[in-house]
């Protein structure tokens, strides 16, 4: 019995030291819409566009409308983080285990401005580098508003 307790304490200590807080990790949702429910004029959108989470948290991308997915911007994620690309029209969960700023988009609607940011822990690690990335089309306009929102935080 004492041995099992010692092992359990050791596992918790190792998990905490490694930044793994599974017991406290949360799952957040980002919805993928054809029309923003709060602003019907805004089409092809993630909601929310900016999400601040803690290290070890999970983001569930929820397909509320057909034809959308989520894909990380290969140049817009922290060093050591893994890229992702979900299937169109399917819900998917991504767990974030590297601190930093993650830019992402909907593959078919990036040029229309369907983009977003996930800020993980100390997101400023690579925030300025992500902010400096060149964007095209409506994505440029949407990111401008997103960065204004983050800068005001």
Catalytic residues: 68, 106, 109, 114
**Which of 14, 16, 85, 100 is CA-nearest to residue 53?**
100
Number of neighbours of residue 81 by Cβ within 10 angstroms: 17
Nearest to 54 by CA among 92, 18, 97, 13: 97
Backbone angles phi, psi at 125, to 5 degrees: -50, -45
């Amino acid at each position: 019995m004492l041995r099992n307790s010692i092992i359990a304490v050791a596992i918790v200590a190792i998990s905490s030291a490694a930044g793994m807080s599974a017991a406290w990790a949360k799952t957040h949702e980002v919805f993928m819409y054809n029309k923003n429910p709060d602003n019907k004029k805004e089409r092809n959108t993630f909601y929310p566009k900016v999400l601040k989470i803690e290290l070890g948290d999970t983001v569930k991308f929820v397909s509320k409308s057909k034809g959308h997915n989520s894909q990380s911007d290969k140049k817009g994620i922290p060093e050591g983080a893994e890229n992702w690309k979900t299937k169109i029209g399917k819900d998917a969960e991504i767990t974030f285990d590297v601190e930093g700023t993650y830019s992402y988009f909907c593959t078919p609607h990036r040029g229309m401005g369907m983009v977003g940011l996930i800020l993980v822990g100390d997101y400023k690690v690579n925030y300025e580098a992500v902010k400096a990335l060149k964007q095209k089309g409506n994505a440029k306009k949407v990111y401008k508003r997103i960065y204004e929102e983050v800068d005001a935080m």
